[in-house]
Structure 1
Amino acid sequence: MNTQHQPNPLELVKGLGLNRRQFLAATTGMAAAATVAGIPLATSASAAPGANGVVVPPGKRGIILYTVRDAISRDPATTPYASGFKAVLEELGRIGYKQVEFAGFGQHANAPGGNVNTVAGAQLLRTWLDDNGIEAEGNHGSIPSTVTDATLAQFDAACEVANILGMGHIGTGNDPTGSAYLADWVAAAERWDVFGQRAASHGLKLYTHNHDVAYSFLLDSGPLDAQGRPTRSSGTRRLEHFLANTDPAYVYLEMDIYWAHVAKYKHTAYTAADGSTVTSIFNPLSVVQKQPIRFPLFHAKDGDSRPDLANGYEMVPFGTGDIDYKTFLTQTGAKGYHNPMYEQDTAPGGAANPGQSLEYSRISYQNMAALRG
C-alpha cells in the first residue's frame, strides 16, 4: 500500500511556543450517489449494541482512510461527491463507522481547512472527528530509518500530533525492513524497540503493518554468498523473527489479514540449510492466537479466491469474499481488544465511478455489522 508522506511537524509545535501539556490542552475536542452492481450485502440485520453473537461491536467498526483516499484528495469545487476530510468524515459517521485510521494528513487544497498537515490542522481534524462521533486509532506515517537526536525529535513531534487526534497507536503502512536477510531484521528490531519505548512515553503503542512478503522466509542459514550473506532459511518467517526479538511492551503489529492470507497462498516452502525443500504452510490466525495482545489493530481486507492471479486473491468489499472473518475474529483471543479496520486498496472507482469507494465503505460496514459468531 502506498501511503502519503507525513512531513515533520516539529517546527510547527515549537513555533506555537507550546510544551506537551499546553499542546494537548489546546486541542478541541456525503452521501455516495453511485450504486455498485453485483456486490451482495449480508442478509442478517445489524444487532443492537451488546446483542448476543455480534462479532464486531459498534464501537469497534473502523476504516482506514486509504480506502477513500480519492474522496479525501479530490477538489470539492469540481464534483458533487463528498470531498476532503470534513465531508468524508461526515459521510463515514452517517454510515456508522466509529473508528478511523489515517493514511497521512493530505487533502485537496480547496477542501475545508486547506492544509491540515499542521498542528492547527490536527486540531481541526480532531474537531471533525468529535463532531461525527469518530475516534482516530492510528496513522500510517513513517518511522525514522535511523536513531539520532534529530529523528527522535521528529518522532516526538509526530507523537504529539497523534495525541491531539486522540490516537492510541502510531505506526506505519510499511514493513520494518524490505530485506530478506537476518542482519537487517536484527537491526530493525533494535531500532523499533527504541522508537517503541519513545512512543510509550507519549502514551502510544507503536505498530508496524505487513504485506505478504513480510511473512516469507528469512534468509538466516546455509552457505554464504559473495557478500557474506546467508542463502538459505531455518524456516523462520521475517515478521515472526521480528516479534520474537522486539519488546512486547513497546512494539506491536497491525495484521493485514488479506496480505497474511496471500502469504499463506504464496510462501509455502523454503530451502533449508542442507539444500532440501521444506513445505511450511502459514497460519495467520495461529500467529495472532500465540500473542493476541501484540495485534491491537487489524486490516479487515477481504478477498475472492483467484488461483489465476499471482496473489491467489482479488480484493473485494468486506463480507463479499472468501476469507473466513467470522472464524478469524472470534478465535483470536483477547475478546474486545482488537480494532478491525476495513481496507480495500482497489476501492476508488476513478472518473467512471467517483462514488465507488464510499459505496464500498457502506457495503463493508453493513456486512461487518451483520457478522455473527
Structure 2
Amino acid sequence: MSLNRRKVLAASAGAAAALAAAGLPVLQTATPAISHGKLRAEPLIPHKNRGIILYAVRDRIGAAPDESGIPYGFERVLARLAEIGYKEIEFAGYNQHTSILGRQITAKEIRKILDDNGLVANGTHTQIRADTFTQQLDIAEELGMKHIGTGSDPTGSAYKADWDVAADLWNELGRQARKRGMKLYTHNHDAAYGFLLDTGPLDDLGRPTRSSGTRKLEYFFTKADARYVFFEMDIYWAYVARFKHKTYTDKWGQTRTDLFDPILTVAPRTDRFPLFHAKDGDRAPEQANGHVMVPLGEGDINFQQFFEEIGEQNYHHANWEQDTAPGGAANPGQSLNFAAISYQNMSDLVIYRH
C-alpha cells in the first residue's frame, strides 16, 4: 500500500500562512519536476532515524510461544522489525512472556538482541519519578539509549502552580540524565495542549476558573530548562488537540477561539523535540477525538509538510506508533503487518534539494 500522494501533499489548513506570519520559512511540499540534474531526492526521514515504539506491537512482544509462525518475544519480534527496515527501537516496558526463557529477560540480553540486529534503542516510555530514576537510568544506559522519557505528561493539572512544581522536578532529573549522556523527554497527549486556568474569578479553593489562552505544555516550555528537558510530540494527539481544544473562556467570561498548530509549536524550538511519534489518523469529526488511528500513510495527517517545515531532519527521530495495531486472536499478525506498511510509507517521504 503506497503512500497516498494526494493526502501527503495536502497542506494542513492555514499552516503555511501562519508560518509566514510568524517569520518562519515556508517550504515547498509539492513534488517538483526534476530537470537537468538540478534537484536531488533525499529521504525526508533519514534511514538511521526511522523507529518504532514497541507499544504498537505489544501483543507480539508479550505473546507466549505458539505455532502460528508469527514472531513473539523480543528476539523474534526485533529481528522481524530489523528485517522490515527499522533502525531504532523505543521501548514501552522490558518484559516478555516468561515461558520463552523460563524467567524474565534481562536488559543485558535485550541489548544483545539489539546489537545482533543492528538496532539502536532511541528512548523509552517509563515512569519518571525521583525515587526510581537512578534505576531507570541504569537500564537505559545498559540498552544504549540517548533519550529517556515517559508516555505521560509532567502533570495533568490545569493550574500553573502544579506545572511549576513539575518543572522543578524535571529540571533536576534532566540534569541527572545529562550527566549520564541522555536527554530526558516527556510525551504529549491532547490534554497537554488544553488551556490553563490562570485568570478570572476564583473558586472555593482559591483557584482561577478562566484562561488567558495559554496552553499547559506551552507554559511548561517556559519553565523547563532547555538544557535538561526535551519533548516527544505525538503528532496524532497534537492534531486531536487541534480538533478538541479550540476555545477557552477569557477573564471577562467571553468565549475565545484559538486554533492549535502542531507545526508552529515545534518549528520555533525544533531542537527541543528530538523524538516524535509518527502516528496517523483519518479525520472522523463525529468521533470524540476527531480522528481514528490508521497505519502511517493511510490517514489525513500531512507528515510531508510537518517534517519539512520543522527542519533539522538529521536531528529528529520518528517512531511509528498505532495504539490500535494489535489484531487480537482474530488477526494476531496485524500489528507486524501494520508495522511493515507504515515503514514503507515512512520511507516514501522524500525532500528535494539543489
- Alignment TM-score, normalising by the size of structure 2: 0.87
Match for residue 135 of structure 1 among 110, 113, 120: 120
For residue 41 of structure 1, what is the aligned residue in structure 2? 2
CA apart distance, 1:42: 2.6
Whole-angstrom CA distance in 2 between matches of 1:43 and 1:178: 36
What is the CA-CA distance between 1:112 and the residue it aligns to? 4.2
Secondary structure, counterpart of 1:331 in structure 2: helix
Q: Which residue of 1 aligns with 2:323?
A: 345
The answer to whether 1:122 aligns with 2:115 is no
Structure 2 unaligned segments of length 5 or more: list them: 6-39
Partner in structure 2 of residue 313 of structure 1? 291
Establish whether residue 66 from structure 1 lines up as the match of residue 66 from structure 2. Answer: no
Matched residue type, 1:367:
N
Runs of 4+ in structure 1 off by over 6 angstroms are none
SS of the residue corresponding to residue 206 of structure 1 reads strand
1:162 corresponds to: 140
Q: Is 1:96 aligned to 2:85, yes or no?
A: yes
Q: Is this contact kept in 2: 1:107–1:114, CA < 8 A?
A: no
Whether the aligned pair in 2 keeps the contact of 1:125 and 1:165 (CA below 8 Å) is yes
Change in CA separation of 1:69 and 1:161 when aligned onto 2, cut-off 3 Å: same
**Stretch of structure 1 that moved more, 318-327 or 77-86:** 77-86
Equivalent-residue separation in structure 1 for 2:66 and 2:85 (angstroms): 26
Report the 3-state secondary structure (helix = DSSP H, G, I; strand = E; otherwise coil) of the residue aligned with 1:52.
strand
Specify which of 73, 91, 98 is matched with residue 84 of structure 1: 73
**Cα gap change, 1:195/1:113 in structure 2, threshold over 3 Å: closer, same or farther?**
farther
2:276 alignment partner in structure 1: 298
Gaps of 5+ in 1: 1-39, 45-50
Contact 1:160/1:202 (<8 A) preserved: no
Show the 5 A alignment for 1:154-233: 154-233=132-211
Aligned to 2:263: 285
Q: Does the 8 Å CA contact 1:171/1:208 hold for their aligned counterparts?
A: yes
TM-score normalised by the chain length of structure 1: 0.83
Residue 161 of structure 1: how far off its partner (Å): 1.2
1:331 CA drift (Å): 1.0
Shift of 1:334: 2.2
The SS at the match of 1:351 is coil
1:256 partner letter? D
Contact persistence 2:4–2:298 (CA under 8 A): no
**SS of the residue aligned with 2:97?**
coil
The match for 1:363 among 341, 344, 350 is 341
1:96 & 1:113 partners in 2: Cα distance?
30
**Displacement of 1:75:** 0.4
**Aligned residues of 1:66 and 1:103 also touching (Cα < 8 A):** yes
* Mapped partners of 1:304, 1:285: distance in 2: 18
> Which whole-Å CA distance do the structure 1 matches of 2:68 and 2:167 have between them?
46
d(CA) in 1 for partners of 2:68 and 2:152? 32
Higher mean C-alpha deviation, range 168-177 or range 69-78? 69-78
Aligned residues with identical type, % of pairs: 53
CA contact (8 A) 1:59 1:99 kept: yes
Distance in 2 (CA, whole Å) between partners of 1:111 and 1:366 is: 30
Secondary structure at 2:43 match in 1: coil
Query: Are the counterparts in 2 of residues 86 and 112 from structure 1 also a CA contact under 8 Å?
Result: no
Deviations 1:28-75 (A, max 9, x none): xxxxxxxxxxxx32389xxxxxx7232111111100000000000110
Cα deviation for residue 158 of structure 1 reads: 1.1
- What's the Cα RMSD here? 1.3
In 1, Cα distance between the equivalents of 2:180 and 2:79? 29
Structure 2 CA distance, aligned partners of 1:54 and 1:233? 42
Residue 186 of structure 1, CA deviation: 1.1
Of 352-361 and 218-227, the range deviating more from structure 2: 218-227
Contact 2:45 2:313 in 1 (8 A): no
In 1, distance between residues paired with 2:221 and 2:100? 41
Q: Is the 8 A contact 1:77 1:110 kept in 2?
A: no
**3-state SS, counterpart of residue 350 of structure 2:** coil
